[in-house]
Structures are given as C-alpha cells and as structure tokens.
C-alpha cells in the first residue's frame, strides 16, 4: 500500500477520519438503547378457559387436542402447558431464536383452528387467544387511591378504560397487561332454592338471558322496491341490555294466570368483577397494576420516557384521590448499568493514555493515540447501526475491550517513527515515510489476524452465537477503523507534530527511571530468550505441563451460561397448604409485606395474591415482587444479604413455605434465575409414578449442599370433592346427563352466558350461585334439575359426594405430563454443577420411564455447553490459515500459535483464583486474548523473518527482532492490562458481567507478557531449525 500518499496529502487523511467520526456520531444518536440485544427466543402463548372443569378434565379435553396439533410446528424448540382446577389452560411454544415471531404466531393460529373441532363448545365460545409473548416487562404502573370508595374493582376498570388503551398506542409499546385485574362483568347470583320452588332450572335462566339480551336487526321502513315514498326509516329496538335494573327485569317465565317470574325473583344481579381469583396491590394497599411490555427492537429508554410523559398528562384528569406511581422501571437498571460501562470506558481510556504518556515520554507523541483511539471507538457506532445492533451491555463491553487493541496501532506507529528519528537522525517527515514502509505490512497482518479471530466465532448458531456476534463484530470493526486511522491520520500527525529529540538534553527523572528499567528489562529479555533457546527440552516439557494444566483447570472451573446480576429486584412466593382460600392467603401475604417494607433497602413490594409463577392462578399462593432502592442508597447491602434476611424471617411462618428467586439473567429466558428442569412421565408412567419420582428427586437433591431454593410445580394431593353419578338413575329419570354436570358447574364454577355493552365496550354475563349456596358439600342438596313430568329432582338423588384428593394443576412438556423443578446453585457453585448433580440423581434413582429435559435459560446453557473447545479450534484454524497465507509458509505460523496456550493458562488461573465461572463472557475474553497474544507474536515474527530473509543468522535475527519489538509490545500490553483493571475491580449494577469478561483477559495478558513473549522467539527458532533439517533431509533423499 502506498502510505506515502496519505503523508503527502494531510487534508485528505484528515477528511477520512472526520467522515468516520460523523458517521459514528450519527450512529450514536440513532442507536436504540437496551439491556441486551434481541436474543430471546420467540414465544407464542395460547390461553383458553373451561370454567368449572378440573385440572384433569382440562388436560384431557383441552390440552391434549391442542398439543397434538401444535407439536412439530416449524422452528419449535419445546412446548409446555398448564391446566388448572380453575378451568384455565395456557400453553407456551418456544421457537428457535432465528424464527420470525409473527410467522410463528400465524402458524400456531392455523394449527389451533384444526384443533377447535375437537374442543368442548364452551371453550371455543369463551375464546382462545394466541399472542406473541413479550420478552420482558419494561415497567410497572400502579394506580392507587386514598379514597375508600375507589376500591380495587374501580381502579382496575378505570385503568382499563382511561389508561390502558392510550398506553398501547405509544410507539414501541408491545403489550399492556392488567396484573390481577378485575374486569367488569354482570354477575347473576342465583338462589338455587328459590329457583327450584318456581320449578325453574339453570337452563331456563340461560335461555331467558340469551333470548332477551341479544342484538337484533329490526328492519327498515321503505326498503326498496317500493313506489311513492320519499324517505326510508330504519327500525330500532332495545337489543343488548346494559344496566343492572334491565337485567333484573328479564322475564324467566310468564304463567297462565298472568303472573311473571323475573330474574330479580330468583337471583341478585350486580355489576362486579368478572373474577375474584387474584388480588393485586402495592405496599400492602389496593392498586390497579399495569405491566408494560416493549416491542422487539424498540429503544427501551425512549419508550419508558414516552410512557411517563403520557401518564403525567393522563394523571391531570384523574379523579381526586386517585394517583399513580412507577414502582418498577427496568430502564433504571439499564441506564445505571450502561452508565457504569461508560464510566469503565472512561477510566480505561484515562489509564491507557497515562501508560502511553509514560511510555512515549512526550506530550506530542501522546497526542496521536489520544486522537486515534476516540476516532476508532466513535466510528464503530456508525457500523453498529448498519449491522442493526443496539447500545447494550454486550456492544459497550466490546468497546471497553477494544480500547486496549485500537491504541496498539497508534503506539506502534509513533514508537517506530521516534526510534528511526533517534537512531538515524532523520526529520519527522522522512522518518515517518521510512517507518511506514516497514510497518504497513505488519499493521495490516495483525489487524487481519484479529479479524480472523473474531469474525468466524460470530457464525456460531443460537443465542451463544448472537452473544458472540455482538462482541466480535463490534471489536472487529473498531480494529479495522483503527488500522485505517493508523495508515492515514497517524502518519500525517507524526510527520507534522513529532520533533527530533535535542542531543544531550536530559529527560526528567521519572522518564529516565522508566528508560533505565526498560533497558534492564530488554537485556533480561534477551538473556531469557537465549536461555529458552539453549534448553529446548525443558521448555517443551514446561509447555506440555501448561497444556495439561489448562485441561485440568477447564474441568475444575465450574461452568454456567451467564453471570447472575443484581437487577434491583427479586421475587418471593408464599405457598400455603393446598385448598387454602384467598382470605387465608391474604392475611399471610399482608404480614409478609409488612416485614419486607421495614427493610431499609426495600422501596416497593408489589403483590399478586392468588397467583404463582410456578403453578399459575391458585388461591393458596401469593407472588411478591420486591423492588429495591437504587444501588447507591442501599447502605452496602447486597441483594444476596437482603434475600437471606427475608428468607430467614419468612421461613419461620408456620402457615406457609417460602421460595425466593432472582430474575432470569436474560429477560424472557425462563421464569426466574437458577435452573429449570422438566421431569416427564414417559411411556407407561402414570401421574402417580411422576409424583413418586418428584418426591425421590427432591429427597436426594435436598441433601446436596450444592443446591438451594428447590421447588416443584407438582400439585398432587389437592383436597377435592368427588361426585359419583349413577348414570342409570339419571337416564331412568329422563334427565339429560349433560344437565346434571352443567347445573353443578353453573352453581359452583361460574357459567358464561353472553355479553352486554357498557362504556363502549363489551363485557360478559355470568351465572353463579350466591356464596352461601356453594360453601359446603351439603349445598348440593339445593341444586335441582327437571325430570319427567316437570318433576324437580335434587342432584344428590343421582349420586354421592365424597372428599378425596387429586392434582391441582397438571403441567405438560412436549406432550408428556411433567413437573417443573426449579432452584439455584448454592453460594460458591455454578448452575452447570447444579444441573450435572440433578442429572446424576435422576440417572441413579429414577425409573427408566421418567424422562428429563431442560427449559428456559437452562436449555440454552445446555446447548451452549462444550462450545469452548469449538470456539478455540475455530480461532486457531483461522489464525493459522491467515498467517500461512501471509508468510507463504505452513511452519512459521506454528511459532505464533504455540505461544497462545500460555495466555489461555493465565486466563484459566485468574478465573480459578478469583472464584469465577467458565461462562460465555469468559469464552469471549479468551477469544480476545488469543487475538492479542497472536498480535504480539506477529510483531516479533514479522521482523525476525525479514532479518532472516535479509541474510542474518537465525538466532541473531530473532534476538534483534525481539529486542527491537520489546518496548512497543510491553507498552501496548501494559496499556491493555491497565485498561482491563476497571473491569476486574468493577462494582455496582452490571458489575458481574464486567468482572466475568475482564478477569480472564487481565490475568491472561499478564502471563502472555511475562512468559508468552519468551516462547515466541523460541518457537520461531525451533520451527525454523526443524524446517531447515527437513529441507536438508529432503534434498539428500
């Protein structure tokens, strides 16, 4: 490349860099901001209801036909479903990360249509919803009131009517859900004894409601064809009813004597909540809770700001006494984390510039890297926009890592120009031209090797590949821009800014000491190389030991997918005995909230009583979301300390069990942090077999110190009332069997009849018995059906009711009845170790017809497991191929490659000593380390090869090249090592990720500088001697 062109055209060179900066600034202003890129697999959720049906009935009548059609949907990874005793059914189908979520939802919808013909009519009538599940909740909005008249039902519907729809229209908002909402419904509270006295049944009520509460088209006066009319008049009539009084006036029966039985004579009608299964609140008070979910690819910060602005506007028209607050806002964690990364970026930049100044010992020389590094980093933002990236934790951490790399090129240029100016007494212009003639090839070679290291790794599939891609492409782009700047702007600045040193002028004492130490270091380095070359057997034995150590440490270091972060909140689940009422659960929940609110680090406690993240809607469960104060206000308390304190207190509650969990590392991947295992009943295994298997697994798992917070979703022994129907008696009485079941279901489980209009919306009408008529087993005596000759027959004459137990909810995974086992690794252990222990217990103690699979984050961790070897193999292969092409030799690249394992050993040792884990971040750091170590090796090998080709002796040329490159290698490596220091010592939000990626690289680079640069000359000499021997042998033969 004619680099002289850029030196002779300084304006052209400056324009190139200015354009790079402008493109970068445009990218920086337009890039979306988020915690992570869009790496969550698409999930489609199917919801249906079969009111009054048991979990087993829902599983057989709803889950089975739906799952049979959904199974095998293109791109599907796995499918899980839940059927509850409340008649609810929900299924989630998780797709491969490369699948289009819109197409996936359409495919599910099409397959669901095929299943509808086999579903109960009431399930289809109630509606089956299909929706793309948002990856994670962006924020929570709570509407609260100080006025007692604005109860939870009012607040919930006020939010639905006046807030929810407006929030849905905000650009970037994907979904707004009402958490524990109480949507209006017209409730017909029937009194069964009165109904029976009038000789009426539930079926009569249904018929009357459907007949008199329906829209009807009445026609038009003057409809064509007609002659002699000037006007047409549409005929209107009362269709659907809309008020309580109108429903009360519905005629159930008109008797022959002129008397009328109306709905109010047999039932109480009221406008109430459609469901009382759950309650939501904040800090112990009633609240309407709205969860805001973001569209994929939207800017989290912008969406959150728009939501807050909209709420500020809406709140001006709230009734007096009604207000809102935002207890949970994920952008707080995102902004704090990104702020910390920016801070790390700045600290690393300052440390790097400090090292550069101490090394170059001139403010003029230091100015060149100071200008070059920001250009490379800023320019990267423009390409991030082109590649469709966002400003997230991964891309910004990639830029922090890139600082130490991009400064290398500028330092190498400046150091080489200054050396030539000093040794050959040339002016800045001539010295720059001469320096660039020798450096151009080395700069391009090292950059290509780094790109060769990073780019192939980004082609890995799945979530792991997407994580790698964010880092590797960011770093590769910054390296390419850095090389462009080093070949254009840096030489121009060298030729214009640098000045020859004044002969005889003494430098200050600090610089003299540094030069003195560098001189000692250089001489020691030469002695070390001679020692290595003189003892090849010892060196090779030590090298072999290092390889063995790497393999041993790889087995010793625990594995995980990603480090667990303090995201500013966690969840608490309270589990009361099965069958406990919502009232009992509420009392325990209120007591727990009171205690948690007294903790100094807690800001809010959001509760959904009657719900569980593990089993869904259940009156005996309660879910608390504990939102902590900002990190700087927590009085040095970690999230682990707070959770331990709360677990210790709540575990003393005799009424309930308590489970605490952190949020998933990647929002949307699983219900919580830790591991998520699916135990399946396969083959001839029954539900009872699964129950025994879960008990066995939990028994052995609870004895292992590596596991904590173990819980199972299995609800095996739920109190149930079994009504044994004598079908012969039913038929002899002339009663349709369906009437027996529908009557019991309507009175005890709520029956959806049809709809009514109010507030420009459609609400549902339900029939259910008044509370005193559905509290005890004896109440069934009051439930009547009509037999032959209009005789009213009590249901108890058709069968006996006895108490028994059965499943409360039935989970299925990939069409097998299953139980979800969740938990976390104990302190000092990784999720990888925890998962391995569970697999070992299952293999050892469970029968063959019990299967095991992983879901959520554990599924991804299992898929990513064992990829370290593949990643490093790709790195070595591509580095080797690039170097072979560069040096036109198959042997010389081996000298570079053989120096890399020592750097890897340093990384493994550092991570092991610091008690960290082998996760995706560590693997990314390892890839980076290989690139840096290779870059240092190339600087030596490139110069040594030139000397050998010029006719110098092999050892003499190698020593000269190593001695010549010692200072720039030490300078650039030291700059990089100090640049990693803020990451190794990171604290605050997002610190676990920074430590995970920085620690291995930090220690690996130290070992690479201390030992690696001795091995490069040794292997260069060793390989060349082998090559010469082989050549002689070949010639002789």
- Angle, CA 652 vertex, CA 648 and CA 658 arms, to 5°: 70
**What is the helix (H) or strand (E) element at residue 189, kind and residue range?**
strand 184-190
Fold of 570-603+610-716+811-845: Alpha-Beta Plaits (3.30.70)
Q: Which CATH class is domain 41-134?
A: alpha beta
Find the Cα–Cα–Cα–Cα dihedral 962, 965, 966, 967, rounded to 10°.
160
Cα distance between residue 1014 and residue 401, in whole Å: 25
| Phi, psi at 646, each rounded to 5° | -70, -40
How much is the pLDDT for 364?
80
Shortest CA distance to 557 belongs to which of 789, 826, 878, 832? 832
Cα distance between residue 141 and residue 803, in whole Å: 43
Task: Kindly report whether the peptide bond that precedes residue 225 is cis, defined as omega within 30 degrees of 0.
Answer: yes
Q: 343-372 b/e with 16+ CB inside 10 Å = b? A: ebbebbbebbbebbbebbbbebbbbbbbbb
Cα distance between residue 1019 and residue 851, in whole Å: 51
Shortest CA distance to 195 belongs to which of 129, 133, 265? 265
Find the length of the chain: 1037
Q: What token pair was written down for 136?
A: 């994670």
Q: How far is CA 939 from the centre of its chain?
A: 41
Give 681-703 as a DSSP string. Answer: E-TT--HHHHHHHHHHHHHHHHT
Q: CB burial class (10 A; 0-12, 13-18, 19+) of residue 913? A: exposed
Q: CB burial class (10 A; 0-12, 13-18, 19+) of residue 58? A: buried
| Phi, psi at 691, each rounded to 5° | -60, -45
How much is the pLDDT for 226?
82
Cα distance between residue 767 and residue 267, in whole Å: 9
How much is the pLDDT for 668?
67
Rg (CA), the chain: 36
- Ranges of the chain whose pLDDT falls below 70: 1-3, 134-135, 297, 501-507, 668-673, 864-868, 1036-1037
Cα distance between residue 362 and residue 368, in whole Å: 11
| Phi, psi at 611, each rounded to 5° | -145, 155
Q: What token pair was written down for 627?
A: 């939102």
Give 33-78 as a DSSP string. Answer: B-SS-S-SPPEEEEEEE-TT--HHHHIIIIIHHHHHHHTT-TTEEE
CB atoms under 10 Å from CB of 893, counted, come to 25
Q: What token pair was written down for 827?
A: 């302190």
Across the strands, what pairs with 234?
A: 220
Cα distance between residue 327 and residue 289, in whole Å: 10
Is the domain covering 506-556+868-1037 a CATH 1.20.1640.10 domain? yes
Cα distance between residue 747 and residue 751, in whole Å: 8
How much is the pLDDT for 505?
65
pLDDT tens profile 640-682: 888 888 988 888 888 888 888 888 777 766 666 678 889 888 8
Cα atoms found within 13 Å of the Cα of residue 980, Cβ hemisphere only:
25
3-class SS of residue 818: strand
Same CATH fold, 570-603+610-716+811-845 and 1-30+361-503?
no
Shortest CA distance to 667 belongs to which of 173, 36, 42? 36
User: How large is the angle between the packed helices 428-457 and 867-887, nearest 10 degrees?
Assistant: 140
Across the strands, what pairs with 342?
A: none
Cα atoms found within 13 Å of the Cα of residue 638, Cβ hemisphere only:
11
**What is the helix (H) or strand (E) element at residue 817, kind and residue range?**
strand 816-825
Domain limits, the chain: 1-30+361-503, 41-134, 506-556+868-1037, 570-603+610-716+811-845
CA distances (Å), 702 to each of 92, 308, 854, in order?
A: 29, 45, 19
How much is the pLDDT for 452?
77
Q: CB burial class (10 A; 0-12, 13-18, 19+) of residue 53? A: buried
Going 796 to 797 to 801 to 806, the CA torsion angle's sign is negative
Fold of 1-30+361-503: Multidrug efflux transporter AcrB transmembrane fold (1.20.1640)
| Phi, psi at 118, each rounded to 5° | -100, 5
Cα distance between residue 792 and residue 200, in whole Å: 8
CB within 8 Å of 324: residues ≥ 6 apart: 141, 142, 143, 144, 311, 315, 318
pLDDT tens profile 902-931: 888 999 999 999 888 888 888 888 888 887
Shortest CA distance to 747 belongs to which of 121, 201, 124, 57? 201
Provide the whole-model pTM.
0.78
pLDDT tens profile 329-343: 888 888 887 777 788
Find the Cα–Cα–Cα–Cα dihedral 685, 687, 688, 693, rounded to 10°.
70
Q: What token pair was written down for 886?
A: 């560069």
Shortest CA distance to 182 belongs to which of 165, 158, 164? 158
3-class SS of residue 1037: coil
Across the strands, what pairs with 190?
A: 267, 769
| Adjacency order of strands within the sheet including 569-575 | 285-286, 279-282, 602-612, 616-628, 569-575, 657-661
Cα distance between residue 664 and residue 571, in whole Å: 11
Q: What token pair was written down for 939?
A: 């600087």
**Helix intervals (H) in 330-392:** 330-360, 363-386
pLDDT tens profile 809-827: 888 999 898 888 888 888 7
Are β-strands 137-145 and 322-329 bridged in parallel, bridged antiparallel, or unpaired? antiparallel
How much is the pLDDT for 277?
81
Find the Cα–Cα–Cα–Cα dihedral 306, 307, 313, 315, rounded to 10°.
-160
Q: What token pair was written down for 942?
A: 């490139």
Q: If you ran DSSP here, which 8-state letter would residue 282 be given?
A: E
3-class SS of residue 103: helix
């Amino acid at each position: 490349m004619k680099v002289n062109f850029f030196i002779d055209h300084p304006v052209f060179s400056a324009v190139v860099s200015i354009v790079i900066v402008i493109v970068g600034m445009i990218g920086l202003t337009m890039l979306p901001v988020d915690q992570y890129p869009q790496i969550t697999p698409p999930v489609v959720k199917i919801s249906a209801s079969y009111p009054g049906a048991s979990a087993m009935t829902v599983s057989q009548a709803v889950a089975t036909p739906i799952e049979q059609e959904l199974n095998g949907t293109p791109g599907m990874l796995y499918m899980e479903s839940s059927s509850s005793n409340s008649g609810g059914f929900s299924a989630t189908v998780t797709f491969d990360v490369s699948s289009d979520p819109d197409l996936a939802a359409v495919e599910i919808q099409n397959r669901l249509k095929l299943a509808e013909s086999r579903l109960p009519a009431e399930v289809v009538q109630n509606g089956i919803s299909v929706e793309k599940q948002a990856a994670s909740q962006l924020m929570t909005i709570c509407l609260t009131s100080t006025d007692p008249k604005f109860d939870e039902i009012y607040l919930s519907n006020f939010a639905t009517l006046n807030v929810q729809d407006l929030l849905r229209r905000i650009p970037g908002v994907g979904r707004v859900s009402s958490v524990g909402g109480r949507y209006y419904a017209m409730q017909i509270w029937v009194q069964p004894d009165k109904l029976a006295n009038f000789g009426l049944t539930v079926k009569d009520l249904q018929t009357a409601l459907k007949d008199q509460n329906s829209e009807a088209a009445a026609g038009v006066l003057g409809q064509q064809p007609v002659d002699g009319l000037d006007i047409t008049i549409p005929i209107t009539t009362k269709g659907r009813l809309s008020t309580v009084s109108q429903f009360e006036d519905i005629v159930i029966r008109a008797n022959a004597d002129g008397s009328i039985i109306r709905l109010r004579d047999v039932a109480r009608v009221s406008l109430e909540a459609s469901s009382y299964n759950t309650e939501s609140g904040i800090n112990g008070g009633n609240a309407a809770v709205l969860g805001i979910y973001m569209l994929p690819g939207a800017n989290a910060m912008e969406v959150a700001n728009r939501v807050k602005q909209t709420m500020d506007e809406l709140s001006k028209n709230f009734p007096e006494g009604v207000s809102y607050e935002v207890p949970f806002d994920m952008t707080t964690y995102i902004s704090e984390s990104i702020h910390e990364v920016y801070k790390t970026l700045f600290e690393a930049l300052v440390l790097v510039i400090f090292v550069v100044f101490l090394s170059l010992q001139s403010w003029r020389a230091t100015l060149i890297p100071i200008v070059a590094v920001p250009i490379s980093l800023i320019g990267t933002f423009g390409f991030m926009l082109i590649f469709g990236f966002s400003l997230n934790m991964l891309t910004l951490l990639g830029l922090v890592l890139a600082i130490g790399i991009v400064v290398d090129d500028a330092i190498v240029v400046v150091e080489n120009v200054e050396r030539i100016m000093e040794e050959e007494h040339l002016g800045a212009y001539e010295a720059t031209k001469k320096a660039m003639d020798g450096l151009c090839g080395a700069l391009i070679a090292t950059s290509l090797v780094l790109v060769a290291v990073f780019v192939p790794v980004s082609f890995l599939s799945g979530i792991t590949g997407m994580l790698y891609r964010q880092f590797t492409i960011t770093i590769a782009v910054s390296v390419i821009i850095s090389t462009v700047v080093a070949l254009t702007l840096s030489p121009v600045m060298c030729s214009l800014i640098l000045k020859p040193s004044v002969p005889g002028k003494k430098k200050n004492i600090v610089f003299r000491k540094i030069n003195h130490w560098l001189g000692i270091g250089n001489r020691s380095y030469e002695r070390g190389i001679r020692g290595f070359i003189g003892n090849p057997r010892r060196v090779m034995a030590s090298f072999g030991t290092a390889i063995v150590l790497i393999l041993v440490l790889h087995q010793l270091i625990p594995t995980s997918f990603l480090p667990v972060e303090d995201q500013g909140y966690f969840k608490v689940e309270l589990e009361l005995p099965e069958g406990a009422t919502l009232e009992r659960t509420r009392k325990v929940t209120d007591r727990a909230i009171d205690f948690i609110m007294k903790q100094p680090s807690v800001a809010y406690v959001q509760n959904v009583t009657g719900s569980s993240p593990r089993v869904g809607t259940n009156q005996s469960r309660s879910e608390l979301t504990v939102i902590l104060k900002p990190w700087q206000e927590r009085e040095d308390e970690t999230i682990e300390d707070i959770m331990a304190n709360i677990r210790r207190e709540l575990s003393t509650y005799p009424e309930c069990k308590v489970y605490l969990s952190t949020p998933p590392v990647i929002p949307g991947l699983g219900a919580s942090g830790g591991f998520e295992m699916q135990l399946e009943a396969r083959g001839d295994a029954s539900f009872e077999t699964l129950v025994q298997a879960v008990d066995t697994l939990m028994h052995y798992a609870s004895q292992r110190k590596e596991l904590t917070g173990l819980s199972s979703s299995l609800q095996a022994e739920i109190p149930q009332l079994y009504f044994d129907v004598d079908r012969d008696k039913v038929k002899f009485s002339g009663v349709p069997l369906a009437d027996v079941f529908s009557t019991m279901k309507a009175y005890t489980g709520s029956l959806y009849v049809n709809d009514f209009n109010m507030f420009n919306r459609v609400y549902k009408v339900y029939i259910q018995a008044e509370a005193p008529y559905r509290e005890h087993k004896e109440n069934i005596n009051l439930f009547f059906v009509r037999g032959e000759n209009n005789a009213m027959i009590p249901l108890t004459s058709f069968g006996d009711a006895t108490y028994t137990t059965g499943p409360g909810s039935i989970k299925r995974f990939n069409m097998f009845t299953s139980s979800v086992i969740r938990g976390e690794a104990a302190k000092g252990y990784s999720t990888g170790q925890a998962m391995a222990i569970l697999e070992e217990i299952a293999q050892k103690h469970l029968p063959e017809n019990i299967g095991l699979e992983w879901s959520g984050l554990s599924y991804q961790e299992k898929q990513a497991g064992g990829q370290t070897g593949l990643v490093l193999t790709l790195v070595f292969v591509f580095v080797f191929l690039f170097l072979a092409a560069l040096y036109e030799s198959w042997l010389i690249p081996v000298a570079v490659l053989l120096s890399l394992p020592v750097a890897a050993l340093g990384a493994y040792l550092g991570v092991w000593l610091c008690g960290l884990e082998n996760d995706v971040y560590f693997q990314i750091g390892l890839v980076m380390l290989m690139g840096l170590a290779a870059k240092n090796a190339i600087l030596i090998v490139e110069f040594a090869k030139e000397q050998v080709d010029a006719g110098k002796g092999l050892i003499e040329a190698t020593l000269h090249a190593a001695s010549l490159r010692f200072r720039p290698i030490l300078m650039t490596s030291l700059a990089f090592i100090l640049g990693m220091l803020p990451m190794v010592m990171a604290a605050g939000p997002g610190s676990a990720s920074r430590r995970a990626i920085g620690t291995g690289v930090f220690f690996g680079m130290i070992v690479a500088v201390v030992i690696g640069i001795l091995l490069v000359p040794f292997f260069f000499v060793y390989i060349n001697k082998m090559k010469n021997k082989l050549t002689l042998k070949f010639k002789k033969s």
